[in-house]
Structures are given as C-alpha cells and as structure tokens.
Amino acid sequence: MVEKKYTIGLLQLAFSSDTNNNLKKALAYTEKAAKAGARVICLPELYRSQYFCQKEDSSLFNLAEPVQGPPVEAFQKLAKKLQIVVVVPIFEKRAPGLYHNSAVIINSGGEVTGIYRKMHIPDDPAFYEKYYFTPGDLGFQAFKTTYGTIGTLICWDQWFPEGARLTALQGAEVLFYPTAIGWHPSEKERYGMAQKDSWITIQRSHAIANGVYVAAANRTGFEQPVKNQEGILFWGSSFICDPQGVILAQASEDQEEILMAEVDVNHMETIRRNWPFLRDRRIDAYGDITKRYLED
C-alpha cells in the first residue's frame, strides 16, 4: 500500500464578545498549529463570536457575513502562505433574510474548495438555532484537498448516523465536527458527565461504523450573553479518534488547546479489512430511512 499520512489539528478556543479579537486569535492559533505540523486544521463552530443563539434577537443577524468577506479571505491568505487546509466555520449571510450555519473548506493553495451548510438544526432552551439558521441545502459532502479527502459536519449533525454515513460513503477519511456544546450550569452536576459521555460515544460510533477518523473541535469557556439567563459552560473535550473509535488525542474541559493527531490511510484500510462493514450493508433493506416514522 502506498503510504498516505497527514497530521490534523483542532483548535479548542474560548471566545469573547470582540469578534475581531476572536478572528485574530483563530488566525494566530491556526498558524501555531501549522508550525507544529498540522496540515488540516479545524476551528470550533461559529468561532467569530460568542454563542449568540442563547436568545432570539433579530439584531444578532448583524453578526452574519457572506462567504467571500474579510475573515475567510484572511484564512485563504494564511492557508496559501502555510500550505495548509483549513475548515473555517461561518455564520453565513446568503441573501437578505437567509442565513446558514456553515463551514468553508479552504485548500492549501488558498482557494475555497467547498462549503458545507449545517443540515440538522437544533432548538433547545438557550440553543435557539432554528430561529437563526435555515437548514442546509447542499447535502452531505466530502471534499478533496491537497492532503486528503475530508468531510465536514457541524455540531448537532453529530447525533445523526445518517450524516456520518453519507459523508464517509463519499470517501471522507476524516469527519470534522466544528462544535459549540456545553452545559446548562444548573444541570452539570446531575447530568453533565452522562451528557458529555453520550456526545463522545455517538461520535466515536461514527468512526467505528464507517471506518473513518473523527475529529470534534469544541469551544471552551463560560458565556452568559443574556442577563437573567444562566449561560452556557462549554465543555471543551475536543478529541480525535481513529477508525476503530480509539481516542488518539483529547483536550481538557476548560483550557484553550491545539490538538493534533495523524491520519493514516493505511491504518484505515487495515481496520476496514478487519471490520468489513461496508461489505455487508443491506442497501436493499434501508429504503425506509427516508421516512419520518414507521407506524403500522
């Protein structure tokens, strides 16, 4: 087998209300990760701002920006300079009144390889995303980059095996999950560990079921943008696991960190030979996956 390896890097960061500073920090950490050897680097979801979906407020649409704008351009320039691939999340303004929660994939020549628009949109107390984001209409995708074929999904997508499957079937070697997940502080003690463990487990399962690497970049820090609301304590714990679900690197809950691991396509091949799930899928019997529910 021809050797094919590349190092991926995740940035686990905390963000303030200063969007320019968040951009500067993200660029600086990206450069640092590249200098440490990462060739494909992924930022946390909506890294430009604090997690504004804690309330529904139409003025917050001002945070959105078109794909071709200064932040993405800054990353394009950096990608070209350092010859790296970067997954850059964006609160995408597509048209007046039409917004997405997206990620831009920038290749090592600085060109935009593609855009992924978050397909599954959550809506829970203090995670009012259905108010802000139109569900993605570009489907699940894998992107060919200089170093490897990568897939990007975003946060809530991580709970849906279908998204992981459809991305892997397109040849993705790694599934990146830019993320913003945390605890309601009042729930942390009672439910916190089970919630975080479920989050890790479901993503490791995508690695196992599909024989791919999985890399989740979460934010960290406590954010309380709305007075009289308890805020969210983002749980960090970004991680990278191999195609058998073995965790290769995991960050703390509360520190800013660069997390790196090597993607080895031959290891992926070996795992898939030993656990040949793709061989045995019953594609003749899966049609009803496109149904909402299967009553009698």
Mind telling me the catalytic residues?
45, 118, 155
Integer Cα distance of 264 and 3 in angstroms: 8
Closest distance between a copy of itself and the C-beta of residue 293, in Å?
A: 5
Instruction: Kindly tell me which of 227 and 292 has the beta carbon lying closer to a copy of itself.
Output: 292
Binding to a copy of itself, residues 188-217 (CB under 8 A): 194-195, 197-198, 201-202, 204-206, 208-209
- How many residues interact with a copy of itself (rule CB under 8 A)? 54
Q: Is 162 in the site for a copy of itself (CB under 8 A)?
A: yes
The contact mask relative to a copy of itself for 251-270 (x = CB under 8 A, - = no) is: --------------------
Q: Is 278 in the site for a copy of itself (CB under 8 A)?
A: yes
The residue from 34, 84, 115, 166 that contacts a copy of itself (CB under 8 A) is 166
Q: Taking the CA atoms of 47, 198, 233 and 54 in sequence, report the sign of the dihedral they define.
A: positive
Stretch that binds a copy of itself, among 16-24, 79-87, 153-161, 216-224 (CB under 8 A): 153-161
- Residue 89 pairs with which residues in a beta bridge? 103
Q: Which residues contact 34 (CB under 8 A, 6 or more apart)?
A: 9, 41, 82, 84
- Nearest alpha carbon to residue 90 among 163, 181, 19: 19
Instruction: Kindly tell me which of 58 and 274 has the beta carbon lying closer to a copy of itself.
Output: 274
Q: Is 135 in the site for a copy of itself (CB under 8 A)?
A: yes
In the chain, which ranges are E strands?
Answer: 5-12, 40-42, 85-95, 98-106, 112-117, 142-144, 149-152, 174-179, 182-183, 213-218, 220-223, 232-235, 239-241, 247-250, 257-264
Closest distance between a copy of itself and the C-beta of residue 124, in Å?
A: 8
Q: Which residues contact 86 (CB under 8 A, 6 or more apart)?
A: 30, 40, 41, 42, 43, 75, 78, 79, 105, 106
Where on the chain is the footprint of a copy of itself (CB under 8 A)?
119-122, 124, 135, 139-140, 156, 159-163, 165-166, 169-171, 194-195, 197-198, 201-202, 204-206, 208-209, 244-246, 274-278, 280-295
